[in-house]
Structure 1
Amino acid sequence: MLRFIHTEDHAVLIERFRKRQRGEAVSLHELFRLVRPDGSIVWIETSGVDVPWEGAPAVLSFLIDVTERRHLEENLRRTLSEREAILQSTLVGITFAVNRRHQWVNRRFADMLGYEPQELVGQLSLMHYPDEASWQRFGEEAYPLLAQGLPYHVEMPARRKDGCIIWVEIFGTAIDRADLGKGTIWTYLDITTRKQAEEDVRVALEKQTELNQLKSRFVSMTSHEFRTPLAAILSSTELLKYYEQRLAPQEKAELVDGIGQSVQRMTTMLDDILLIGRAEADRLDFAPAPLPLRAFCQSVVEELARSRRGVGQPDLRIEFSMGTPDAEPVLDEALARRILGNLLSNALKYSPEDKPVRLTVHAHAAGVRFTVADQGIGIPDSDLPHLFETFHRASNVGNISGTGLGLAIVKKAVDLHGGSITVHSELGRGTTFTVTL
């Protein structure tokens, strides 16, 4: 019979026969190939039982042609191998899970999360969620849908082995919706780059919106705030032009002074706009040096008084006090003057004439603290988050003139000093600004 057996199977069958002759135990089941006269291969599976034969032990063998089964098995193995290769080489992460525990993962899934495949198999999916709450929430949302035979889709953050957070797009489906215990299949797509691009676009759109609003506020401010001094200049020049001979010298001098004040007002507004522009472009000069604190504060108050007298405004109502002996903190004098001058000017502008403004100064080892408190109209809570935005003005200022630049300049100057500014306000009771430099 050996001549019908495939040559590659000779050695195995001969060794089996010899073991049996030596009385060694051998399997009664064997799989081997036969070669037909036409050269075709037949797979044979044998099974046998020990029986006596003419007084001697023998084996009764049954031979079954399993060629078709072998072909089916080979085709199945080849198909599974091909599918495994496809699943392992795909750019999409795939996992098969039972009761939320990974039973199989492809290489892409493991790489996406920074693990080796064997580190994930057998583990709960909780290990790659940002926290347990998000893992619980995912299960509560996904599995009821899967039980209805519906797919589940979500975009969410995932935690890598190194702790980094990535964004993934997840699709899930059940093997058997009637029995989720048979497992679920999940595909993961890394969308971190896409999410970052979406965030960049969102920020750009917000910035564009802010720029459009800024442009609108700028046009509104300039058209309103420049109109008054320009009108004053125009009326004064017309009076001088047409009635020069009738006007007394004192009247002429007053008209000329008025023109100068209007020009100075516009110059100040333009300086503020240019200052904001330099600050936004990070081109603001910063030259800190020791500054005699008491003399500096007094000079700011006196300068403000002169400015108000020049435009016919009431005298100052500033109560100035220093809580510590005189000191010389290291500050940029020009920027510090902007900070203190704008805060005091605003406090006076938005306060009744009979209510004083308090300026309190405390020097300390790390620098200086200015506190400016008024008893004016206050600032609505809704305006506080936007208080330091360029051209922003509180919603309750009414007809009180202003550019919306003062506090924006204050904030830029404070930031350059590495300081901080806080505000506490109550409507109808007043506002307190505290600047630490």
Structure 2
Amino acid sequence: MSAPSSASTTAVTPVSLPGEELLRQIAANIDAMLWSWDPAGGRITYTNPAFEMFWGQSVDKLAGDPWQWLEQVDPADRDRVRQLQLAAVKRSEEYRVRRPNGDVARLSQRALPIHSPSGQLLRVIHLANNITWQLDTSKQLRVEIGRRTDSEAKYRAVVENVSEGILVTAGGRILYANPKALKLTALDEATAKSRPFIEFIHPDDRERVLDNHLRRLRGETVENHYQFRVQHSQSVTRWLEISAVMFEWEGTPATLNFLTDVTLKRQAEEDMLKALAHERELSELKSRFVAVTSHEFRTPLAAILSSVELLDAYGASFPAEERRELLGQIKTAVARMSNMVEQVLLTSRLELGKFRFEPAPLLVPDWLVQVMAELERGNPQAARVSLTCDGLDTPRTADQQLLRHIVVNLLGNALKYSDPDTPVRFAVRGVGEQIHLRISDQGIGIPEADLPRLFGSFHRGTNVGNISGTGIGLHIVKECVDLHRGEIEVSSRPGQGTSFTVRLAAPPA
């Protein structure tokens, strides 16, 4: 039986979901240069303002020649940069750029490939940062520190006024930290110099930072830029990006470290990846919807068409009983299609947030009798349901619309996926401030592999065979349970049946 719903009389507008537009909004507000490469079309499909400002090129200008910007890259680095642009795996490179005004800059670029669930490369997101200032500052500091006269004053003049954190470490300890570095690590100078620097790193990142530090001291090749966390407080964690170079400090090998706060940039990257993942999820959802609805609509439409053709060709000669039977088949098929449309509209209303939890006093036993009577009128199989009700003699505060969708869909599934000669047990109990519903059948059950996606839209079990259905019912159930401040559990064994247990907030009225 289809659940009554106001959705059939309410206009439903498409859901506005995050995707390409959200990605553009994020990209437009970060300092890093960002562009999107389409490997299938061999073209750049998006450039953010930072890219356009640095390269003097926009996505429109690059439409005819997507490699124009490469002409500014140092010839010795171009092949590496070209390969980076086409990267199918995550990687990074540093390279030199000669600006139109003659200045030379150095960039650090990362490629973030985006793949479909099947492994197809969909696009490559590129992020680049201008690191010229780090190299210039490093060179200047090396010169200043190398001079034994007056070097301390000049050193401080350079580093204490830059906007990036600078640390000097040797022997596992911090020898110097400029004001910005102390702020980024949430330390005071005395604390920073009193303990091994590794103690200030987030525990989950210490092994990586220490390994890179020791390898750099041994003269091994180490990643030039990587990120780690520092814990400012119990609830605040900051992400820092480090770039380091080796130099001599009072005759001892030391490391000059540049620190940049990349917390917001990491969040932006995560948001972009989530938006892309959501975009893929929507694409998959759309495909499942088309597949399910086209299949489920085809069967009743075929029944309607064949019945109409028979009536059109032979209706005058058919006995009244046969005409009634054909008309009955048409009505059944139309009702089935109407129910499917109603479920799709209901799902859309739920996702749009049109449903609200509106509890009111409800005498549950009387309400259950009414729901079962409606179910029996629309589904002959409903006679198989055995109902027990306990502990609900007084009214409960519940939302009967949400409750109806939960009960009708769970009972409908139990009847649909079990043999006509087996019982379906429906037990309702009042337990403290809650109502507990348990619906059990002896049907085909649910394969274990299907359980993680059981409540997803348009997902159907792999063992349903030719049994009709849209895969929407359990999604509606889960949404209604959540709105009713409840929880749902399922236990099932293929071939032995399924039990759903629902616990809903419903205190005595």
Q: Scaled by the length of structure 2, what TM-score is found?
A: 0.65
- Report the equivalent of 1:212: 283
The aligned amino acid for 2:373 is E
Instruction: Classify 1:222/1:352 alpha carbon distance in 2 versus 1 (closer, same or farther; 3 Å).
Output: same
The reply to whether residue 333 of structure 1 matches residue 405 of structure 2 is: no
Contact 1:128–1:160 under 8 Å retained in 2 = no
Q: Deviations over 1:126-167 (max 9, x none)?
A: 443222x53245324531343134345422222125751111
Deviation of the 1:244 alpha carbon: 1.9
- Selected match of 2:256 from 180, 185, 188: 185
CA contact (8 A) 2:364 2:392 kept: no
Distance 2:470 2:220 in 1: 62
- 2:335 matches 1:264: yes
1:33-432 alignment to 2 at 5 Å? Answer: 77-78=149-150, 80-131=152-203, 134-152=205-223, 153-160=225-232, 164-175=236-247, 182-309=253-380, 314=381, 316-432=383-499
Amino acid aligned to 2:434: G
2:33 — aligned with what?
none
Contact 1:327 1:363 (8 Å CA) reproduced: no
Deviates more, 1:187-196 or 1:164-173: 164-173
Q: Is the 8 A contact 1:322 1:361 kept in 2?
A: yes
Classify 1:354/1:181 alpha carbon distance in 2 versus 1 (closer, same or farther; 3 Å): farther
Q: Describe the SS at the equivalent of 1:421.
A: strand
- Offset at residue 176 of structure 1 (A): 6.5
| Alpha-carbon separation, structure 2, partners of 1:170 and 1:189 | 7
Q: Quick one: structure 1 residues 287 and 115, their matched pair in 2 at CA, closer, same or farther if it must change by over 3 Å?
A: same
Q: Aligned partners of 2:387, 2:235: CA distance in 1, in Å?
A: 54
**Shift of residue 117, structure 1, vs aligned partner:** 3.2
- Preserved contact between residue 115 and residue 161 of structure 1 (Cα < 8 Å): no
Distance across 1 between alignment mates of 2:216 and 2:449: 42
Secondary structure at the counterpart of residue 342 of structure 1? helix
Higher relative contact order (CA 8 A, sep 6+): 2
- Partner SS, residue 244 of structure 1: helix
CA distance in 1, matches of 2:342, 2:471: 14
Whole-Å separation in 2 of the counterparts to 1:257 and 1:394: 30
**Aligned-pair distance for 1:172?**
3.3
* Cα RMSD, aligned residues only: 2.7
For the residues of structure 1 that align with 2:439 and 2:451, how far apart are their CA atoms?
17
Whole-angstrom distance in 1 between the partners of 2:232 and 2:455:
40
Give secondary structure in 2 for the equivalent of 1:375.
Answer: coil
Q: What is the CA–CA distance in structure 2 between the aligned matches of 1:107 and 1:273, rounded to whole Å?
A: 59
Question: Following TM superposition, by how much is the alpha carbon of 1:387 offset from its aligned partner in structure 2, in angstroms?
Answer: 1.2
Inter-partner Cα distance in structure 2 for 1:185 and 1:427:
63
1:182 is displaced (CA, Å) by 3.9
Runs of 4+ in 1 over 6 A off after TM superposition: none
Pick which of 85-94 and 267-276 moved more.
Answer: 85-94
Distance across 1 between alignment mates of 2:157 and 2:446: 67
Give the secondary-structure state (helix, strand or coil) at the position aligned to 2:458: coil
Task: Give the Cα–Cα distance (whole angstroms) in 2 for the partners of residues 171 and 386 of structure 1.
Answer: 43
How far is the alpha carbon of 1:98 from its aligned partner?
A: 2.6
SS, match of residue 404 in structure 1: coil
Once the two structures are overlaid, the 10-residue window that deviates more, 182-191 or 357-366, is 182-191
Q: For 1:161 and 1:180, how far apart are their aligned partners in 2? A: 37
CA gap of 1:181–1:248, structure 2 versus 1, over 3 A, is farther
> In terms of mean alpha carbon deviation, does 319-328 or 390-399 score higher?
319-328
Q: Which moved more, 1:142-151 or 1:227-236?
A: 142-151
Structure 2 Cα separation of the partners of residues 436 and 356 of structure 1: 22
1:77 deviates by: 4.4
Mapped partners of 1:319, 1:357: distance in 2: 6
Rounded Cα–Cα distance in structure 1 between residues aligned with 2:235 and 2:295? 55
The answer for unaligned runs of 5 or more in structure 2 is 1-143, 505-509
Structure 1 unaligned residues grouped into runs of 5+: 1-71
1:222, CA displacement in angstroms? 1.4
Distance 2:192 2:235 in 1: 15
SS of structure 1 residue aligned to 2:500: strand
Identity %: 37
Q: Which has the larger radius of gyration?
A: 1
SS in 1 for 2:316: coil
What letter matches 2:236 in structure 1?
A: C
